[in-house]
Amino acid sequence: MTDVMRIAPEGIIDARTRPPIAAFVDDRTYTNLARTLRNTAARGWTITPAMRRADLDGYLAESRQAGIVRAGVPARAPNRWWGGKGNDPVFAARDEHPDLFFVYAAVDPFRAGAAESIRGLVDRGAKGIVLEPGISDVPAYVDDRAIDPVYEACAAAGVPALVMGGGETGPDLSFSDPVRIDRVAVRFPELTVVNVHGGWPYAQAALGVAFRRSNVWMLPDVYFPGLPGEADYVKGIATFLQDRFLFATGYPFCPVQETIDRYLGFGLSDEVLRKVMRENAVRLFGLEESR
């Protein structure tokens, strides 16, 4: 805790985590926990006892010990590929742990009334809106024009769109092509677009988009650190992205303390680490400063 307290004495904000709560225990992350933990181990992470047991109390204790004071919990719209429980369970988790969890609501942009639902979700306390069109019942690209009303509604409501833009974001790698994030950012300059999964494996191209588009933020979570492209993300953090990069563990794909330790080992300045591990999230999601 010594280094963390020096860098962010008010505590760290984990911008994206999936703890073993009702919202997630029936999706593939936890129903096939062995697969998840094989993925974790394959990238060189240490599997903690809480991860192995899918133990919520253990997760809470590990987070508290590591200096995590707030954690963003993303909903997932129901879909036939990965499941998803919708918004109610994540709001319930926030209500059970209001001092820790804050919520990103999710919409299926192709469902009737999706755009009209945004204002109500924000009024309910959502700090952002999750969009994962690549795993919709009929997969689509993030720059599909049919999604435009939802992007417009997010911009009008003043909340970021957390767009799954990398990793297993669709049936093939074309769904991770960062040029699609670029098109959305150009089309909606008033909208903050958070590239969830950071465009991986197209790390350099995704960083290039963020360099050109000041309304694009990066949240690579489970794909950083520990995979090819790591050095490129670090270079971005150290330079033009220091005000638009969000620390996130992507738990249980990465352990909390070890992820923090990796960030602390990159040689970044305390000022930059403080931005990435706390201040950027406070600013983007309107979180209270004092804890």
Tens digit of each residue's pLDDT (9 = 90 or more) over 54-68: 999 999 999 999 999
- Average pLDDT in the 270-281 region? 97
> The pTM is what?
0.95
Q: How far apart are CA 168 and CA 190, in angstroms?
A: 27
SS3 for 179? helix
H-only helix segments in the chain: 2-7, 28-31, 33-42, 49-53, 56-66, 88-96, 114-123, 148-157, 178-187, 203-212, 230-238, 256-264, 270-274, 280-285
Q: How confident is the model at residue 26 (pLDDT cuts 50, 70, 90)?
A: confident
**CATH number assigned to the domain covering 2-285:** 3.20.20.140
- Average pLDDT in the 269-273 region? 96
Q: How confident is the model at residue 151 (pLDDT cuts 50, 70, 90)?
A: very high
Average pLDDT, the chain: 94
**Predicted local confidence at residue 3, as pLDDT:** 74
202-236: pLDDT as tens digits = 999 999 999 999 999 999 999 999 999 999 999 99
Residue 15 clears pLDDT 70, i.e. is over it: yes
**Predicted local confidence at residue 79, as pLDDT:** 84
Q: How far apart are CA 157 and CA 70, in angstroms?
A: 23
- Average pLDDT in the 187-212 region? 98
- Spell out the domain ranges in the chain: 2-285
89-128: pLDDT as tens digits = 999 999 999 999 999 999 999 999 999 999 999 999 999 9
Residue 152 clears pLDDT 80, i.e. is over it: yes
**Predicted local confidence at residue 85, as pLDDT:** 87
